[in-house]
Amino acid sequence: MDAELTRLLTDRAGALGAGLEASLLAHDAPHYREAPAGVLRERCDRLVAAFLDAVRTAGPQPFERYVRGIVEERVAEGFALREVQLALTALEAQAWPLVVEAGGETDAVVRRLALVSGIVGRGKDELARAFLDHKEKAEAQVARLSTRLEALFRGTEPTPEG
């Protein structure tokens, strides 16, 4: 664990959430732009909190769990994969300048940036896996329904006379 990085990002959690919200509103992300302001800000703050949990433990697992947990909700709301990816990318883009501006030994700054990018990167990997899992389940359901529909139609065809 990097106590200095944890302190830096925890102290700036509000700024991270506000910057993330502003970034999402500035990009082509219709589901974020259409969300009520309070809902969007709450989601940004929860994403930042999950990110900070991962920074505190110096491992991506809390962030990965959070990302996996929100996928079903976002899919049900019609979010495209790219919109949720944008949120993760925007979070990383908000954190990097804070780490760089805090300064320190070059090696320490590089390690901190690598930790930030590693956590967000693993979150993006989990996001892709979760969206793919959802897509595969939906396709399987469509195939089952298609088979049932075909069976129903076969049962209603007129029989040949004679």
Low pLDDT (below 50) residues in the chain: none
pLDDT of residue 157: 57
pLDDT of residue 162: 55
pLDDT of residue 9: 94
CA distance 72 to 130: 8
Question: Which domains does the chain possess?
Answer: 3-154 (1.10.490.10)
Q: Say if CB 151 and CB 123 are below 8 A apart.
A: no
pLDDT of residue 156: 64
Residues counted in the chain: 162
